Structure 1
């Protein structure tokens, strides 16, 4: 009988020290920078769809679409991609409620899809998103935009657009808070600080 994999990542204690890495205007500038990177790499974002990975990837995708529109006047369709059933840790964690996948009305076939997430860590969430995407259509290409890349990949996944690289220890975590979901904008490094 095969046993489920155990995560080797130690979680910081609830009372672990923390440090704010980004907040307010700094976080907004990082989102602006990602939007500019997308515009540069995609020659104006035409034929592009942003799909946010819940929870915080969805509001980030909406923010990026709003900034792209403000900079270029281009309306970029936004959707959300629930990855719950595609995760490889379903047996290891408590039962999760299913989220909703919402694709733009035109679908994703033949379009450039940019997956949007808050933190890139092991790469497992992105792998699940790629599997989910395969069941929904055939985009012309798939790219990845993340607010924070903290390293420690377990899979060969790399973001095309990164807001901030934050090197971390495995015993640390990165917590993103957004106004839409948490009431404030900040990126916090938790644990490992003296």
Structure 2
């Protein structure tokens, strides 16, 4: 797939899809094109993804070395609550941990923004994080590119409502972006 930067620059874009659909790979290709065209100093990547578990997840830095040429922010530990939790309370604890550590990174970005913001695996934050903070980041960025899980394969949430909450927040964010790429 040939990436045309004009399709993404100065736009708010959301890449959505099922597990293994290529969301992170496409995000990596776009990042590579941006860096190759001289935008590296203008880019912040906030990587919300947990480490890869089988075919699920994976950091953007696992897909491209170009993350070394931009401001790359990721917490030391991110959990994959729906795929690793063994109880409702553990799932909620993991989701809260993720939201707390990611909130700090998002707030740091707002204090020191760059024109281009790329977010990998936004759905992890939406398990327990608030949409308003993401909207602030979207609005302060000239170019916003995020990918998010949007499917049915990862469903088990032990009745906590995390899955429904995530989908609801993604649906609300869709209304705020210029472009949705559904894989």
TM-score bracket, shorter-length normalisation: 0.3 to 0.5
TM-score of the two chains, using structure 1 as the length reference: 0.38
Query: Relative contact order (C-alpha < 8 Å, sep 6+): which is higher?
Result: 2
Larger CA Rg, structure 1 vs 2: 1
Of Structure 1 and Structure 2, the greater helix share is in: 2
